Amino acid sequence: MYALAALVDLDDFVASERARGRSWASAQLDRVERAVRVTAGERASSRPLPPDEWLVLLTGEEPRLLAAEAGLLAERLRERIERESELTATVSLGPPCGSRAAAEREARRTNSYKLVLGGDRVIAAPAGGPAGPGVPPVRIEAALASRVRAGDRVGAADLISAWLDRCARLPGADPQQLRSRLIGQLLFVVDVAATNRLADGRTDWVDACARLPIDDLIAVADIHERSYLRLWLQDALRRLVPAPPERGVLALAERYMAEHFDDPGLRLATVAEAISASPFYISHLFAQERRSTFLRHLTGLRLRHARHLLHTSTLPIDAVAARCGYLSAKALRGVFKRHVGCTPTAYRRAGG
């Protein structure tokens, strides 16, 4: 008698629960529980594995027939969950095994490939062992160091997450490889963020690693979903990266904008790159510290200078526009009338 396990794993459940609340999550779990139980029927047994998984077990005498039946059941499980709840699921199939314990273990091994392949699919048991170390698609250490030194935890998390997504698309990528690369980047962050150094200038790793407990690194081995990996990464970076000098970063952004507002191509991304911070973080600081936005601040700088030129010079309107970062007199007139209430010409005639 052979046993084959199908592991039903809800996609992005932890992130969705954080965003939508426990009561919503509980209602969805109830719907999925019913869908799994009805779909498994009498032919297969099922049991929940909190918080967001179910183990469905089939048994049979013929391994090939058992595998074919499990494949059809897995598709029905995935489709029914999507139809009867607001969630999607990944169903991971192990190979036929000689015992139920082995079948469950193999299904979990298959499910680890969700970290590479993504969710909302049926995953069959992978053939072969782990891939070699391979070569990362790009090196991000220089950009990552800039974000860490600026205290930009969100930007650092975004950078590492996007890099891992690219690593996952490489031929032969496997979960163990992704986790190893993640730990390598975290150790790099520890080194950059370390404040205590030994006498010869090297990082005091005993002190530095106190902020990254070994239990946390071990926990990475159980993560099989990139949305949860991102949440874990954000929590880790909160501990590793010193509290951001928020006003310092904002002051750098405002200074750069004050010096370059006359550039028609000035964008949030331009400023972010110039001061080694993420666009999202700069936007967050404008909202939190200034109760404003990047664009509103930039428009204020440009209009302030336009009013000064209109009041103190006889420059034509198109020349005023060019010196304030606008590509044409028409563009300046539109912004000026919307924010000041009159055209630049009328403003000049009224004496400012």
Least confident stretch, 110-114, 115-119, 202-206 = 202-206
pLDDT for the residue 349: 86
Tell me the per-residue pLDDT of 311-321, one tens digit each, with 9 for 90 and over. Answer: 888 899 999 99
Which domains does the chain carry? Answer: 2-123 (3.30.70.270), 141-240 (no CATH), 245-352 (1.10.10.60)
pLDDT for the residue 236: 86
In this structure, are residues 76 and 24 in contact, taking their beta carbons and an 8 Å threshold?
A: no
Least confident stretch, 133-147, 223-237, 328-342 = 133-147
- The mean pLDDT value of the chain amounts to 88
pLDDT for the residue 246: 52
Cα–Cα distances (Å) from 277 to 91, 115, 158, 272, 287, in that order, read 39, 28, 11, 5, 16
pLDDT for the residue 212: 74
pLDDT bin (cut points 50, 70, 90) of residue 247 is low
pLDDT for the residue 122: 96
Query: What's the pTM?
Result: 0.64
pLDDT bin (cut points 50, 70, 90) of residue 249 is confident
Q: Examine the pLDDT at 27 and tell me if it is beyond 90.
A: yes
CA gap 129, 268 in Å, rounded:
45
pLDDT cut 90: percent of the chain above it: 53
Assigned token pair, 159: 């950078």
pLDDT for the residue 245: 55
Measured in degrees and rounded to the nearest 5, phi and psi for residue 57 equal: -120, 130
> Residue for token digits 């974000």?
147
What is the average pLDDT across 288-292? Answer: 87
CA gap 309, 3 in Å, rounded:
82
Q: Examine the pLDDT at 213 and tell me if it is beyond 80.
A: no
Task: Name which of 162, 161, 139, 159 is nearest 150 in CA terms.
Answer: 159
Assigned token pair, 263: 């550039």
Beta-strand pair 53-60/45-49:
antiparallel
CA gap 72, 173 in Å, rounded:
27
pLDDT cut 70: percent of the chain above it: 96
Assigned token pair, 310: 């209109």
What is the average pLDDT across 314-330? Answer: 92
pLDDT for the residue 328: 92
CA gap 183, 5 in Å, rounded:
31
